[in-house]
């Protein structure tokens, strides 16, 4: 369960607690946040809910992200002033001090991840174990082509985010931008522009073409999209973001109800509609 936009911002603390409870009771054990989410409020809310619920910390995986921090030069970036020294050395220190169990990257290129791994091995430090990457029906290249090579070479797994493309795949934007939606918020003008662009309209048309597949499988379009992400064996986890209990329950329904139905035939049907499947060097050779 992710906390971007929602915790400390779009939803109340009570709703946040309800979402975490639903997730936890449904078997979700990974909760993701970042120091920049709601100016640090998301991390605080997440921690307070876990403490209030009395959940065993050992049964959970809590992930956070460092970089943006505050406005001062010493409050952002990955310098010695912000965390410790250089990134790999800093993360190794954090783990050795017991402040974290593992470290990974977010939105890094394959080359940067490989460089971090090489530095760690060269100086007997701890390498990254995962990369957080955007992955959904309309964003595929990195997770399907670049990260699998890293996984097989150095064991870096993929934690994917935005399975519904910031709500674009939810179906709510089929006829424009509703006033109550995220894209209507002033700080999300970029999302609104993406939706109403020519490419955005093409994406909405493709989503309409996917509806018959979802109906045949007995699921909603969001459930189909989440299951499609989960069906990728290279994906270690999918981060869900929800602003209501109903949304979360719907998305979680993709695990048991839809994922078993994601056969190669169904995946090929989806690919034939999307027409955006990336090809690796291996595919070209074959």
Across 251-255, average pLDDT: 94
Which of 54, 20, 49 minimizes the C-alpha distance to 252? 20
Task: Provide the 10 A C-beta neighbour count for residue 231.
Answer: 19
pLDDT digits (tens, 9 = 90+) for 17-66: 999 999 999 999 999 999 989 989 999 999 999 999 999 989 999 999 98
Give residue 68's pLDDT band: very low, low, confident or very high (50, 70, 90): low
C-alpha–C-alpha distance, residues 37 and 6, integer Å? 9
Q: What is the pLDDT of residue 172?
A: 85
Task: Provide the 10 A C-beta neighbour count for residue 263.
Answer: 11
pLDDT at 155 over 70: yes
Residues 6 or more apart in contact with residue 162 via CB below 8 angstroms: 134, 135, 136, 139, 239, 241
- Beta strand residue intervals within the chain, DSSP E: 30-32, 61-63, 105-106, 130-134, 157-161, 235-239
31 to 28, 49, 159, 216, 262: CA distances (angstroms) = 8, 11, 12, 32, 26
C-alpha–C-alpha distance, residues 26 and 256, integer Å? 11
pLDDT digits (tens, 9 = 90+) for 85-127: 588 999 999 999 999 999 999 999 999 899 899 999 999 999 9
Q: Whose structure tokens read 């190794």?
A: 92
Please provide the average confidence, as pLDDT, over all residues in the chain: 90
Share of the chain above pLDDT 70, in %: 92
C-alpha–C-alpha distance, residues 44 and 17, integer Å? 12
- Specify whether the CB–CB gap between 173 and 181 falls below 8 A: yes
- Note the residue count of the chain: 286
Catalytic status, residue 37: yes
Mean pLDDT lowest for which of 46-50, 65-69, 253-257?
65-69
Across 247-269, average pLDDT: 96
pLDDT at 81 over 50: no
What is the distance of C-alpha 223 from the center of its chain? 15
Helix (H, G, I), strand (E, B) or coil at 26: coil
Task: Tell me which of 37, 117, 135, 188 is the catalytic residue.
Answer: 37
C-alpha–C-alpha distance, residues 26 and 73, integer Å? 41
C-alpha–C-alpha distance, residues 229 and 279, integer Å? 17
């Amino acid at each position: 369960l992710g906390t971007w936009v929602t915790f400390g911002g779009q939803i109340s603390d009570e709703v946040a607690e309800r979402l975490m409870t639903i997730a936890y009771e449904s078997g979700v054990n990974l909760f993701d946040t970042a120091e920049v989410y709601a100016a640090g409020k998301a991390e605080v809310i997440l921690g307070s809910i876990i403490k209030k619920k009395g959940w065993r910390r050992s049964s959970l995986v809590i992930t956070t992200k460092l970089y943006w921090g505050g406005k001062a030069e010493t409050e952002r970036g990955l310098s010695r002033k912000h965390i410790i020294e250089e990134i790999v050395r800093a993360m190794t220190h954090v783990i050795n001090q017991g402040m974290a169990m593992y470290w990974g990257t977010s939105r890094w290129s394959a080359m940067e991840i490989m460089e971090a791994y090489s530095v760690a091995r060269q100086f007997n430090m701890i390498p990254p174990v995962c990369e957080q990457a955007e992955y959904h029906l309309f964003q595929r290249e990195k997770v399907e082509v670049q990260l699998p090579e890293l996984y097989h070479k150095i064991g870096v797994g993929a934690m994917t985010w935005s399975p519904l493309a910031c709500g674009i795949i939810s179906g709510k934007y089929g006829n424009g931008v509703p006033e109550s939606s995220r894209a209507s918020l002033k700080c999300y003008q970029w999302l609104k522009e993406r939706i109403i662009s020519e490419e955005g309209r093409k994406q909405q048309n493709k989503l309409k073409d996917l509806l018959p597949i979802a109906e045949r499988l007995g699921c909603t379009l969001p459930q189909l999209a989440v299951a499609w992400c989960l069906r990728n064996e290279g994906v270690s986890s999918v981060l869900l973001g929800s602003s209501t209990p109903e949304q979360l329950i719907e998305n979680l329904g993709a695990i048991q109800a839809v994922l078993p139905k994601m056969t190669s035939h169904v995946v090929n049907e989806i690919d034939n509609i999307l027409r955006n499947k990336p090809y690796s060097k291996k595919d070209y050779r074959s």
